[in-house]
Structure formats: structure tokens, C-alpha cells
Amino acid sequence: MSENSTPTNFIRQIVNADRASGKRDGKVHTRFPPEPNGYLHLGHAKSICLNFGIARDFAGTCNLRFDDTNPSREDIEFVEAIREDVHWLGFEWAEQRHASDYFEVFYRCALKLIAEGKAFVCDLSADEVRAYRGTLTEPGRNSPFRDRSVAENLDLFQRMRAGEFADGTRTLRAKIDMAAGNINLRDPAIYRIRKQSHQNTGDAWPIYPMYDYAHCISDAIEGITHSLCTLEFEDHRPLYDWCLDQIDLPAHPELAESVVAAGLRYAPSRPQQIEFARGNLDFTVMSKRKLLALVQDGLVDGWDDPRMPTLTGSRRRGFPPGAIRTFWERAGVSKQNSVIEYGVLENCVRDELDASAPRRMGVVNPLRLVLTNLADDHAETLDFPNHPKDETFGRRSVRFSSQVWIERDDFLEEPVKGFHRLVPGGEVRLRGIGIIRCNEVVKSETGEVVELRCTLDEQTRSGSPGADRKVKGTIHWVDARSAIGAEVRLYDRLFNVADPDDDSDGKTYRDHLNPDSRRVVRAWLEADLAEAAAESTWQFERLGYFVADRHDHSTAQPVFNRVVTLRDTWARAAGK
């Protein structure tokens, strides 16, 4: 993107202005800093697209940095999953870093704050700290340990570092202002004791920095120019700036030495935090705590359940990464919180798959249909296009015999007004074949329709004199003798209300789980779909878009997941 391009959002305006003024020599360096305590979800994709997109469009760089300062909730499984998700979404990082790479830097910065009288060791318990903090309308009270001498604070903090004290007995707090209108500035904790093994550093550290403290220093160390955060961090920005002002990393060689010791090539700088509204979608929840509960309580089939709003779940569902990028591009970036309709995302998926997915025929609710005026051993091969709108997809051979499978929903024994498919004595066009008439309905002993006996009007076949004869309905089919059986998972939205988090009626998000969000059927598909590659996506004509499951699909046991229906059934149900 050139400097003269019209900005599409307020963040791009800021970056354009900074580059125009020569601020930071015109450099653009962003970062995506997830905490590895769960799998990424669709809301995170907005931040990924924004941070990596800004870096790409302004010829800058973007780091992937793991905010691993809370070892009790973090796991290497999540680290690997986050890496895979970012890469799948289509982005590459300039550097992969971890906040834990800078633990020594954070520690030295804390020593500097203590030495300058700007931090103190506090013995108040967590409950006592809350009681001393005050409220939005009442100022807080100073901790009775706030006036400890610099020497005592240094001694206590170094003993904390040595592991001398038990968890929760002491914290290191910044000394700012207990009467500040912004509660985040009321002497916030910047270190706590937590004797827990860390995935990267093992048992080397019995103390860990708090996020607000570690995040801004990490940004400064890495030379981040624009630190893009979601809106809930707006009230934390004064603390972000306070820490940077007091530590002043670029101006202190002794701190810079620890940066070099961490194996970094960056020149420390002063980053700017900018907040934007997070990405919210209706008909879903994106709280990590709630998503974890869904997994742990067996309400879904894991983090990659195709109904989950996780990126790994979206991938297994068959959502193309390009559709997710397009969705967040269309949603835009602002400072106004809003909820976007899930149907908008589904439409982005439909738009992309309509252009990219080859067509095949499949039947998910099968009913046998026999053409009685064809020989029992009748067999022929037909020529069908792989994509009706794009000749470059080529063509395929489709086998046809006297017995086919059709959708049970394409037959109605007792006709109703507006139903233009097959009825007793009625006619319909069999896709690519010709017009058939239903002459006989065969039922089981229980009264279930198990077979239709029909005749094919040979004069309506392609190239015949009656090929142009009109009937109102056309239905698809699959050759019963060559079709493959497959497991087809019909996925839908996980929740059946737009706001599952709304508990005003006494219900929780669990009460709104959609019982029809997953239905497994035995389907019949065109034979060549057995050879479909895992994660390949197809349109099953008249049914929707389907993907070969990335884990379970095989030639011996084909498994396909429904990505989306061809049309938005939820909007129709809501009368939109």
C-alpha cells in the first residue's frame, strides 16, 4: 500500500500519518501476541488479519509472540495449534518469540523500578489488595508496606526470585497513585510468586510477571511500532505508557545488555498502543473459559469439532481461510463494539466455494428409484461438467443404470400446492437424463415408502426430438450400482439463539445448545469421491458444500462434513 492510498480504517490512518511524518523512520512492525492457554477462535482471526495485514500492506514485519507468563494455564499443545492456525490462515511471521524469552529483562527492569523508588514488595493478600483498591467513586488506600525502603524492597524481591517465599505471600507492585481515577494505576501488581514449572523455562523462575507489565516491555524489546490491542485494553494504556516511561529501555545500556543476552537483534524502541473493537459473532460464544468447558464436559467432540468457533474447528468444517479473511475485511475495523451476523461469514464461505468447489451428485436421504422400461443390466456413461460456470474445471464421466438413488425429500406421496418434484403419476426431469414418470410406489410392511417404479421418456433425452419438453421440476440422482456409501455429517450452528451469553432469563449458554447441530447419515455419492483428498471441498448439487474430513476420511471409509447449505436457512426461518 502506498502512502497516498485512501485509508480504510482509523488504524491505517494512524500508520499513514506516522510514515508521512517520518516517525520511527517510517517503519511498521506489529505483533500478534496470543496466550497459549487454548485454541484460537474466529475473534482472534480479526486480530491476526489486522496485525499481519498492516505489516504486509505497509512493507513492514509482524512477529508471532506467545504471551506465556501464566504457566498454570498454558500448554505446548496450544502453542503448536496457534502456529498451525496462523499459518493456515495464510500468514507468515517475521520472528516467533515468547514473553518467556525476556524473563531476565523483565527482572532487571523490576530491579530498576525498585531502585528508583517506583515499585515495592507488598505482603497484602489478594483479598486485602481488593479491599484497599477502592471503587470507581472512592479512592484506594496505600498498602501498609508501600513505604518500605529501597534496600528492603530489593532484598525481598531478590529473595522472591530465589524462591524463598510461598505462593501468594508477596507481590511486587508498581508505586503510582492509589487515588487515580483509573483503577489500573492504583499500585498494580507487576510480579507474583508462582512456583510452577514453565513450558519453556522449566523451574528456573518461581516468580512471573503480570501481563500489563510484560506486554509493553516485550513490545519495546522487539521494536514494535504499533501495538494493536482490543478495546478492553484501552483503560490499561496509561499503565502501558507509565511502564515504558519509567523503564525507558532504549536509554539504559545495562537493560539493553539483557536484551542482547536474550538472543535478540532488535533495537529497543517506544511502541504506541492502539485499541480496536474485538470481533463478535451472533449464535456463538467466544469465551475461552466457556469453550474449554464445552470440550472438557464432552458437549462437543473436542477443540476441532466443526461446530466450534475455533479456527481448527472452522478448518475441519471446511471454511476456506480466504473466506475468513474476506469476512473480517468486510467487517472493518472501528472503536465501536458490535455483533456481526454469523450468516455474513457463511455467505463469505458460499461465495468462495461457489467459485472453487467442483460439483458432484450425492444423496443423503436415499430412496431407491427403478426405471422399469430400461433393461436390468442397462449401463451407460454420461459426460458432465465439473463446474457449470468454469470450463477450466474440465468434465467427468458419470455412470447411469436402471436403478438410481434420489433424495427422499424429492418425492411426496400426497401432493401439496407448490411442490414441483416427484409425485405418484407425476413427471420430473432427472438431471442430465430426461423426463421420468412415477407409476408405482412400493412400501414396506410398516407402510414406509421403499422404492419408486418409474419410466423414462426416451424422447426427452439429450439430442432426442422431445428434449425440450418442459416440466416444472428437476431432481438429482446417484447411480445405485456404482455409488459409494459414505458417512456424511450434517453440521449446523452450535447454538439456537443469537445471544447464547444472555442469561437474563435464568438460562446459561448450555441451555441454548442446538440439538440438531450434528446429524450423521449414511449417504450415496458419485464413485470418484472415494478418491477425494482430505480437506478437498465439493458442492453436492442441490444440497450444499461438503468437505472430506481432514482426519477421518479415507478411500475405504469416506467421510464428508457439510460446510454450509446452499442458502441461508436461518435467515429464511427468521423471515429475513
230 is in an annotated binding site: yes
- Is 288 an annotated catalytic residue? yes
Q: Residue 46: what are its φ and ψ, rounded to 5°?
A: -65, -45
286 is in an annotated binding site: yes
Beta carbons within 10 angstroms of residue 61's beta carbon: 20
Distance CA(411)–CA(409), nearest Å, equals: 5
353 is in an annotated binding site: no
72 is in an annotated binding site: no
41 is in an annotated binding site: yes
Distance CA(229)–CA(237), nearest Å, equals: 10
CA dihedral sign of residues 78, 83, 88, 90: positive
43 is in an annotated binding site: yes
Please tell me which residue in 23, 27, 35, 195 is annotated as part of the active site. Answer: 35
308 is in an annotated binding site: no
Please tell me which residue in 83, 118, 288, 437 is annotated as part of the active site. Answer: 288
35 is in an annotated binding site: yes
All cell numbers assigned to 559: 467421510
In one-letter notation, the amino acid at residue 145 is: F
Helix (H) or strand (E) segment spanning residue 504: none
23 is in an annotated binding site: no
* Nearest CA-CA partner of 64 in 30, 38, 90: 30
37 is in an annotated binding site: yes
- Is 278 an annotated catalytic residue? yes
User: 410: which DSSP letter?
Assistant: G
Distance CA(111)–CA(363), nearest Å, equals: 69
551 is in an annotated binding site: no
Please tell me which residue in 161, 278, 368, 437 is annotated as part of the active site. Answer: 278
314 is in an annotated binding site: no
- Is 461 an annotated catalytic residue? no
Q: Which residues pair with 277 in a beta bridge?
A: none
197 is in an annotated binding site: no
Q: Supply angle C-alpha 275, 183, 213, rounded to 5.
A: 60
472 is in an annotated binding site: no
Beta carbons within 10 angstroms of residue 530's beta carbon: 17
Task: Find cell 467427468 and name the residue.
Answer: 396
211 is in an annotated binding site: yes
Distance CA(40)–CA(22), nearest Å, equals: 35
Residue ranges for the binding site?
35-37, 41-47, 67, 211, 230, 286-288
Residue ranges for the binding site for ATP?
35-37, 41-47, 230, 286-288
Residues classed as catalytic: 35, 278, 288
Residue ranges for the binding site for L-glutamine?
67, 211
